[in-house]
């Protein structure tokens, strides 16, 4: 379905980095969800580039909600969120149509769109297109929170620098939403910033690994086989530019473990059932078990580096050198985390709506 994702709660994405506007349409969302603009602003703020570790292209990201919201509540009809592009310097990108940037989508876009793509600023492939996704995710997140479901993501590692794991999920997630740089152990922030700045000073860039948690999702959600929770979340997360891997629970470490180490034992807890460990990340047979859903995502280093790179001149069919100009991020992982949260919120909401029906997410008395 190309630029539409979801089964019952869907999001449709549109826009190019230097076109008139970018945006998305969320459909299948319940009527009666209160829409708090301050909440959306807060999430958009966490995606914005800031300081020396980000691009100097600053966009106001002032979004308009064109439809689907009336008197501060969702109407139940599609919500179109639009952000007009204003601060564009297309000249910087003029040559990229013919000399593709390594690590970017320039070359594959050329293969797919035969030269008709709007290549300016990466066009439809630009990370900028995630801004309306974050706004959409914010509306969904508010609805999830009214059901006691919380989602948060931190940088678990960058180079050899490691953050601590989630401990008290709720307070950790709250803290993350207060932090521009998403780490749980505040003492690692300076190290990671220094690591990014050092790469930036050499015209280079860095990647890292994000760890996400979803708290409060009921058990029994998701499907065996093709719409497993892992399938749905991974489908959505791989849509985010620069993501190259995802794993649930103990992830790739499971390849070195034995069954006796990887199985999560069941125990009664009050009237409910819990697992005493969470090696499987809250999911069994593709279905939630009520424990925190946990997954890790690897973000590759930003491909836009200032070092000279080998490329080709597609027009003339010869090898050439490329030196990228313009304004670029030496790291995007600290900004990507809120995009991961937004996409996760959309997927979880979609699965809940599929299971409990259209009106489930409504947080107002119907």
- State how far Cα 220 lies from the chain centre: 25
Does 146 engage in binding with a copy of itself (CB under 8 A)? no
Least distance (Å) from a copy of itself to the CB of residue 140?
15
- Among positions 285-344, residues that touch a copy of itself (CB under 8 A) are 285-290, 296, 298-305, 307, 309-312, 314, 317-319
The alpha carbon torsion through 341, 342, 343, 348 (nearest 10 deg) reads 80
Tokens 């320039």, residue located: 106
- Residue 176 near residue 164 (C-beta atoms within 8 A): no
Separation of first and last alpha carbons in the chain: 33
Candidates 143, 163, 149; CA nearest to 219 is: 149
Burial class (CB in 10 A: 0-12, 13-18, 19+), 267: exposed
- Residues numbered 191 to 210 that lie near a copy of itself (CB under 8 A) are 199, 204-209
Phi, psi torsion values for 164, nearest 5 degrees? -75, 165
Which is nearer to a copy of itself, 46 or 311 (by Cβ)? 311
88 part of the interface to a copy of itself, by CB under 8 A: no
Q: How far is the CB of 337 from a copy of itself (least distance, A)?
A: 13
Q: How far is the CB of 40 from a copy of itself (least distance, A)?
A: 16
Count of residues interacting with a copy of itself (CB under 8 A)? 154
CB closer to a copy of itself, 174 vs 259: 259
Taking the complex as a whole, how short is the minimal distance between the CB of residue 151 and a copy of itself, in angstroms?
19
Among 43, 80, 139, 143, contact with a copy of itself (rule: CB under 8 A): 80
Taking the complex as a whole, how short is the minimal distance between the CB of residue 163 and a copy of itself, in angstroms? 12
359 is a site residue for a copy of itself (CB under 8 A)? yes
Among 59, 163, 250, 350, binds a copy of itself (CB under 8 A): 250
Cβ atoms of residues 202 and 162 within 8 Å: no
User: Of 20, 167, 178, 187, which one interacts with a copy of itself (CB under 8 A)?
Assistant: 20
Long-range contact list for 318-322, CB < 8 A, 24+ apart?
320/99, 322/99, 322/101, 322/102
Enter the tokens of residue 67: 């439809």
Q: Considering only residues 90, 108, 171, 201, which one is a binding residue for a copy of itself as defined by CB under 8 A?
A: 108
**Cα of 364 vs its chain's centroid, Å:** 28
Q: State the nearest-atom distance from the C-beta of 107 to a copy of itself, in Å.
A: 6
- Residue 202 Cβ vs a copy of itself, minimum distance, rounded to whole Å: 8
């Amino acid at each position: 379905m190309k630029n539409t994702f979801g089964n019952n709660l869907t999001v449709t994405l549109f826009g190019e980095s230097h076109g008139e506007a970018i945006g998305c349409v969320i459909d299948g969302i319940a009527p009666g969800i209160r829409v708090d603009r301050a909440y959306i602003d807060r999430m958009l703020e966490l995606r914005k580039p800031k300081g020396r570790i980000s691009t100097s292209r600053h966009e106001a990201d002032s979004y308009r909600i064109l439809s689907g919201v009336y008197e501060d509540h969702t109407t139940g009809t599609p919500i179109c969120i639009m952000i007009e592009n204003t601060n564009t310097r297309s000249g910087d990108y003029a040559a990229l149509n013919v000399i593709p940037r390594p690590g970017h989508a320039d070359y594959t876009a050329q293969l797919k769109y035969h030269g008709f793509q709007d290549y300016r600023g990466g066009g439809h492939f630009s990370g900028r297109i995630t801004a309306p996704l974050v706004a959409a995710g914010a509306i969904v997140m508010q609805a999830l929170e009214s059901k006691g479901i919380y989602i948060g993501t931190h940088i678990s590692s960058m180079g050899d620098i490691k953050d601590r794991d989630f401990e008290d999920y709720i307070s950790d997630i709250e803290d993350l939403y207060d932090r521009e740089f998403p780490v749980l152990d505040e003492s690692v922030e300076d190290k990671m910033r220094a690591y990014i700045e050092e790469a930036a000073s050499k015209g280079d860039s860095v990647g890292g690994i994000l760890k996400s948690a979803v708290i409060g999702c009921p058990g029994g959600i998701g499907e065996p086989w093709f719409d497993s929770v892992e399938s749905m979340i991974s489908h959505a997360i791989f849509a985010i530019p620069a993501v190259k891997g995802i794993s649930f629970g103990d992830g790739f470490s499971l390849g070195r473990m034995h069954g006796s180490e990887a199985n999560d034992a069941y125990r009664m807890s009050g009237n409910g059932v819990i697992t005493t460990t969470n090696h499987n990340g809250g999911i069994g047979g593709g279905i939630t078990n009520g424990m925190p859903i946990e997954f890790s995502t690897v973000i590759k280093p930003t491909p836009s580096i200032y070092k000279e790179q080998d490329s080709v001149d597609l027009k003339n069919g010869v090898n050439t050198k490329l030196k990228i100009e313009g304004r670029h991020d030496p790291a995007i992982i600290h900004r990507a985390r809120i995009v991961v949260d937004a996409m996760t919120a959309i997927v979880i909401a979609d699965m809940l709506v599929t299971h409990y029906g259209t009106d489930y997410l409504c947080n107002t008395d119907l």
